[in-house]
A = this chain, B = another copy of it.
Amino acid sequence: MLLLSLIIAEAALETVPKYIAKHPSVVKHSSKIGKPASEILLDRSYHHGAMLKLKDAGKRGRPDLVHFALLEATSTPLYHESMLKVYVHTVANRVIFLNENVRLPKSYFRFEGLMEELFKDRRVRSDSNVLMELKDMEFCDLIGKLRPARVVGLSRIGARSSAEEVAKMIDRDTAIVVGGFPRDHFSSKISSKINYTYSISDLALEVHVVIARILYECEKILFK
């Protein structure tokens, strides 16, 4: 059965890069919580000073934003009814494969622990089931693996449309791509793989709002 896919692309979710592991703000946070920097999520709330040295710093270190986006997607009837697959492509070119019917924690503290486990062990299990897996993978390789009939991107700089209109063009063989970062746009590596890019509002919408709206409109059509 073909499944609608949602890809949260260039998501601001990664562990602290080696390059800044010795920065005072990282060392302080790491020793406070008693974990090596390599096992801690990069987080602007704690590592702002260190992040100034990073490339594309404005797009990184927002695990809270990715948490919201993922919860929005996995709280939908489309996901609960196994009609939607959800992928997170991260800014450091890893891809999280989320199994069906995973119930992500709403508590950020627990989500953080889950993600740190995933980045460390490459998979998270519950009893005998694999809940999620992490693979080194570029966005283009994920598209190559999924082979959707079309890739629809949602971005403020896309052609002006509405969630309702865009949903009409989406069927089960579509990958919807949203940006998992707080500002700026898709990099060229992402946009070159997108067939159609639309904007669904005149106003800037946060990514979790975009996800809520497009999946809701898709649900209205696919549940008919």
Chain A residues within 8 Å of B, Cβ to Cβ: 45, 62, 64-65, 68, 71-72, 75-77, 80-81, 106-110, 163, 201, 203, 205-206, 208-209, 212-213, 216
Contacts and interface: CB of A to CB of B under 8 A. Distances in A.
Contact of A68 (B106, B203, B213, B216): B106
A201 B81 CA distance: 13
A77 B198 CA distance: 18
Given A45-B107, A75-B209, A212-B212, 4 more contacts: A64-B106, A75-B206, A77-B201, A107-B108
Q: Is the interface of A mostly helix, strand, loop or mixed?
A: helix
16 contacts: A45-B109, A62-B106, A64-B108, A65-B106, A68-B106, A72-B208, A75-B209, A76-B209, A80-B203, A81-B203, A209-B212, A212-B212, A212-B213, A212-B216, A213-B216, A216-B216
A45 B110 contact: yes
Nearest to A202: B77
A159 to B, nearest CB: 19
Nearest to A81: B203
Contacts of A76: 209
Contacts of A208: 71-72, 75
10 closest residue pairs by CB, A with B:
A108-B108, A212-B212, A64-B106, A64-B107, A77-B203, A75-B206, A75-B209, A45-B107, A213-B216, A65-B106
Nearest to A108: B108
A205 B45 CA distance: 31
Contacts of A64: 106-108
A81 B201 CA distance: 13
A127 to B, nearest CB: 21
